[in-house]
Every structure is written in C-alpha cells, then in structure tokens.
Amino acid sequence: MPVVSTPSGPPAAAQEPFEHVAHGARRPDPYHWMRRLDAPVLAHLRAERDWYDVATGHLGPLVQELRAEMTGRVPATDSSVSWPQHGYSYYTVLPAGREYVQLLRRRHGGEPELLLDVNDLAAGDDDYVDLGAWGVSPDARVLAYAVDFEGDEYYELRFRDLATGTDLPDVLARSAPAGTWSADSSTYFYVVHDDRWRQHQVWRHRLGTPRAEDVLVVEDTDEQFEVDVTTSRTGDLVLIRSENRDTSEVWAIDAHDPVSPARSVGGRRRGVEYRAEHVRHPDGSDELLLVTDDDATEFRLARCPVPRGGDQDSSAWEPLRPEDPAERLERADAYAGHVVLTSRVGGRNQLRILPLDDLTGDGVVVLPVSEIASLVAPEDKNVEHDVDRIIVVDESYLLPPVWSEVSLVTGERTELLRKEAPGFDPAAYAGEKRSFASVGGTLVPATILRHVDTPLDGSAPCVMYAYGAYESVYPDQEWDPAIPSLLDRGVVYVHAHVRGGGEGGRRWWLDGRMEHKQHTFDDHVAVADGLASAGLVDGSRIATRGLSAGGLLQGAVFSQRPDRWRAVVAEVPFVDVLTTMLDPTIPLTVNEWDEWGDPSRPEDYAWMARYSPYDNLPPAGIRPDLLVTGAVHDARVMVWEPAKWAAALRESDPEWAPRCLFRVETGAGAHVGPSGRFAHLAYEAEIYAWLLDRLGVSGAG
C-alpha cells in the first residue's frame, strides 16, 4: 500500500493492510478495504474540511442564492417517459421535496403500482443512496435492484416480490451494479468485484437458494479486463463481455437454458474490440451483429452465427458495412424488422435506421435537434424487441430533455414528454461551436454558452470545462440546471472537446492517450488562449474545472500554464500518476495501463513523469487560486491523491498556501459528489459560488 506523505504540517497516513472480504461477506467496518485510514489521517482530513468550511464561510449567502436558483429550475415533481416491458409501462417519478426516484409501472388503463421508493432506503435526508442496475423479471413478478449506501460502489443486490412489496431473503452483498435475468425468471446473473474493485466474475444465482449454491459462470483472470453481463433485446441470449481499453471478448448463453455453458462469440485478440447484438429474423433464424474495430479504426459492422455447438473465433465473422473513416460506429440495436446504428460524425451523434433486409444501405438518418444537442436512444427505454417505434431523447446544456418516439419506418419524431424547467427561458441564452488551433494545427472544437445579453467582446469572464479521456464524451451536451446561474451573471461557459475524449471518434481518443496524453493538456490551453486572443472573453478572468481524469487535466494545466487561469477547480483529481500506476495492488491500476501507460516500462515512465501533476509542481509566486475535492469512500481516485497534492503545493509556496482549499467528503460520498438531486445541486452551488468569487463576479443573476 502507498503511504500518504505530506511535506509539512499534518502527520503522514499509514495504510492498514486490506482485509480480504470473502465472496458474499459483509464489509467489516465503514473504512473497509483500501481506506481503513488511521486516526491521525482521518483527523487531518476532517481538519481540511473544517478549514474549507471556514475559508468559504463568507460565501454562504451566495451559495444559498445559487442553490435556490438551481433547485428552482427543477420541477417539484419530475416524471420520466414510460417504456414498455413484459406487458407493463414502466416509469420513474421524483416526488416533490424528495431526493430520490420512485419506480412505478401500470398496465394499459390501470392504476400505477409502486415498485420501489429509493427514498425509503435512506435513513435520513442527508444519507447517501445510489440505485445501481435494476430490472424486473420477464414474468413481471420480481424486481432485482442494486443499492450502494456509502458511495464506494460497493453494492448490495436485493430481490423484491412485487405481489407483496417485500424483499426476499436472497441478498447478494459485495456485488457490482450489473446483472440480468434468465428468460424463465428463475435465475439472475450478476457480477462481483475482486479485492481491487475489478469486476472479474459473473455468477449465476437461482432465486430462493442460498448464495453458497451460486455457480461461477465466467471469470476473467487477466487483471487488465473487467466483465459485464446483459440480456439481448430479444430475450433469447445472456451476453457476457470482458474488456480492457482496446480489447474485448463476448460470450453467449441460451437465456432459456440458464445452466448451459457460455460460448465465445469470437475469441480474444489483442487490440480488437467487438460488441454483439442478437437478431431474430422473420423466418425464425437468428444471428449476431458485431460492431468491431477489427481492421477498422472507427469500427465496422459484421455478422456471425450464434455459437451453440462450442466456442467460435473471428473466422466465423462476415463483413456487412465497412468502416467509414469519418463516422465512428458505436452501437447496433436490433428490433423486429430494423436495426438502429448509433454513430458520431463531426462531433455529433446520430442514429441510422436500417431495414433488416438492407443492412448495407443508407437507411434513414436521425440527427439531434441542434448543433450543440445530443441525441440518445436510451437502452433501458427500448427494451422491447417487437416494436416499430423507439424512444429517443434530445437534450443540450440549453435544452431540458425532450423524449420522442421515432418511427423505425420513416424516422419521423413524435414528442412524448418535455422535461419541465421552471423559470428557464431557452430564448434568453445562446450556444454555438467554434474551433481553436492547438499544437501542430489540430483544430479543437468547443461549445460556447452565454446569456444573449453577454457579448463575446472580451469583457466577460469565462468558466471552462473539459474531460479528455477513455474516448468518453462527458458530459454529452446534457441539460444542467446549474449552468444558467453562471450565464445569468454574465459568465461565458465553454466546454472544450479536447483529444483523449470521443468527440472526434476513435482517432481523437488515440491521439490523446498514452504517449500522446500531452495533447489533451495542449488542447485545453489552446482553447483558453484562443478565446482570449480572439477577444471573445476576458483573458485575465478564465477559470477551469474538471473531474477525475478531467481533474488530472486541471492539475496538468495548473502546473504547465499557471499564468493562464484566474482559478482552477480539480475535482477528485488523478494527480499522483506515477505512484498510483506503479502500484498494482490498488483499485483501477492494472486495467488502466492501456489508458495511461505502465510506468514499470521505462518509455512509459518517461512520458508520464513529464506531466504527472504531483511530480511537476508549478513555480511559486504565479499560481492561481485552487479548489481541490476528494472523498474518503471514493473507489476510483484514492483520497490520498488530492490530499498529498494539496499538501505538497502548499509546502512549496507558503505565501500562496491559503489560496489552496481542499473540500473532502469524510463521510458517505461518491466519486462524483453527493447523491440526490437537491444535495448534488447544493454541491454545485458551492463550487460555482467559489468560482464567481474568484472571478470577481457578484450580485444576483
């Protein structure tokens, strides 16, 4: 275990050895596995939080003002669109004044039936609760649901009898938030973590039997891979997928015979990814569609038989649609008579609807409603196979979600539900995309948001955001009820779509990972410099924010260009890159080597050492204000990373040290902050109040 070493001040934290928790056992104490921190370290972290509270106490009135504005844009009662499954329509409701959703269903014309109220799982209003995967059995009698009470992604899997509304004795502790049913509703397939929080096994549980009788179905012993499990949309196959950053393997199980063996769909070849979707043809035959990057950087579509006689390799694959270098193919979803391809073109996602008998044609393309909007066909909202319409959702930073039905024949949209946003007037805001030249001339796109009364003439302050890792588009132009509070105060909000993310497809990711990681940081600085040099925003008042891998980005640009920023917010930042990636005993190290590099290899060590924020502190005397966050129960970025980074920064620049704050969650709290819709907005109000104060912006919006 690493030791938290602080250059001065608080005592160092010695980590107690991880106490192995056997499969199925309960964790022994609140500070389990890696985070059983000793008393002095916990006292230090609590003192950090106390200092943060004192240092930001003057912002209390602004925090309350912002919180009231943000929660005011959330409807008192918020309902989702309903979706069909097993003869019912399912939907969620956020009741007035409550933090968490209720799950409900109804038959056509019938009364609503409450399946689960997540609020009842929390002992108090401030308690942390996260509902993971949930699903109703095909016979519609039992609800399986996973719940986390700490924020550490340590889920407990439960089963509820929907006739009585009571939970069954079957309780599967130490589960991942993933699972799926067999076709006969007798068996549940679920995933568990190993000691380093890697999802490494899929187990089979027969309802009503002791967990000791559960059967291991698939175990991936390669520490770079994680497994997941789902059911095909047809309901005929259980699909298990194991993957690392650039390689995957899929197994299929007959969902009607849950004890049958898992058969490999195409084996495993280093550097080849694939996903499988089951297709049922009108004549009763079936096959699998594969989305793969086998000899296709931006992925292509292939087909193969369902493996029933034994494992098969990629020699069974037949090409269907070749790679289009300008279109990143992400997913294929099969329905009765049609296949829907999800892809990304020019930074925007789109759907392509193809007749099942013409999978090589152009089909019908469905685009987002605007240049800055996203369009998603939610997987859990389209669970039925025999349909001629699917549900999609359009949204953007300036557009609350709008759910529509899309005809699989014509592509025509029919609006179903528009999320309410009380007091929000879309016409009061403007959004656009611009590009800025980075190192080597690469054009980096950025989404720019502002109030219509805020000119882009160099007078307005700016808050930037970026992520830039894992080929992730995070967030993908999602509605956020907090951002208008910045825009209303004359702040320009900019999301920089830097390399390492997925906005520009697979190549955009490849050019921002491993030895190319510096491009991510160059791109973010280039957007900031471009905004200033073009006279769009006030170059002396640019703040920047990012979380996790985005927190690493903030740490890097904080060190490399401290003169560029008025303020930096690094949330749960991955900043001690070398120490973490050199220690294979902690969570999310071995299976991250293909994203960041393995520093045990000299060439990888060299490029990681050049940017690791903890190992590259900025010069003293020119640093911007810094707000760092962390959480004791964070299972993704260990709390010692932000803690020791903040300590090292303070020790290396004592005069600046009071301008470095560390907001740490010492109780229940997750990687992405507090749970609950209002609790999370309260957190956002804190962050934005600090940013507004640092930017010199005051007054009501």
Which active-site residues does the annotation give?
548, 634, 671
CB 498 within 8 A of CB 544: no
Neighbour-count burial for 162-194, b at 16+ CB within 10 Å, e otherwise? beeeeeeebebbbbbbbbbbbbebbbbbbbbbb
Which of 595, 582, 661, 579 lies closest to 626, judged by CA? Answer: 661
Which of 685, 644, 680, 686 lies closest to 663, judged by CA? Answer: 686
Q: Tell me which residue has tokens 């089951």.
A: 278
Q: Is 194 helix (H, G, I), strand (E, B) or coil?
A: coil
440: left (phi over 0), alpha (psi -120 to 50) or beta: left
What does each C-alpha distance from 555 to 79, 470, 573, 614 come to in angstroms? 39, 18, 7, 8
**Spatial separation of the C-alpha atoms in residues 627 and 425, rounded to whole Å:** 31
Which of 31, 26, 20 lies closest to 155, judged by CA? Answer: 26
Three-class DSSP labels, 195-240: CCCCEEEEEEEECCCCHHHCEEEEECCCCCCEEEEEECCCCCEEEE
CA angle 681, 682, 684 (to 5 degrees): 60
CB 627 within 8 A of CB 558: no
Q: Write out the two tokens for 620.
A: 């003293």
**Spatial separation of the C-alpha atoms in residues 503 and 344, rounded to whole Å:** 8
**Spatial separation of the C-alpha atoms in residues 563 and 379, rounded to whole Å:** 44
What does each C-alpha distance from 608 to 223, 519, 639 come to in angstroms? 21, 13, 20
Q: Tell me which residue has tokens 């070849």.
A: 269
**Spatial separation of the C-alpha atoms in residues 174 and 153, rounded to whole Å:** 9
Q: Is 69 helix (H, G, I), strand (E, B) or coil?
A: helix
Which of 287, 290, 362 lies closest to 319, judged by CA? Answer: 290
Q: Write out the two tokens for 417.
A: 């539900």
Which of 60, 52, 44 lies closest to 661, judged by CA? Answer: 52
Which of 174, 155, 198 lies closest to 585, judged by CA? Answer: 198
**Spatial separation of the C-alpha atoms in residues 653 and 291, rounded to whole Å:** 51
Three-class DSSP labels, 599-630: CCCHHHHHHHHHHCHHHCCCCCCCCCEEEEEE
Return the sign of the alpha-carbon dihedral for residues 136, 137, 138, 139: negative
Q: Write out the two tokens for 37.
A: 């921190």
Q: What is the dihedral of CA 574, 576, 579, 585, to 10 degrees?
A: -30
**Spatial separation of the C-alpha atoms in residues 513 and 53, rounded to whole Å:** 37
**Spatial separation of the C-alpha atoms in residues 527 and 323, rounded to whole Å:** 31
**Spatial separation of the C-alpha atoms in residues 69 and 484, rounded to whole Å:** 9
Q: Which residues pair with 663 in a beta bridge?
A: 629
CB 596 within 8 A of CB 514: yes
All residues at 6 or more sequence positions from 361 whose CB lies less than 8 Å from its CB, including other chains: 354, 355
What are phi and psi for residue 467, nearest 5 degrees? -125, -80
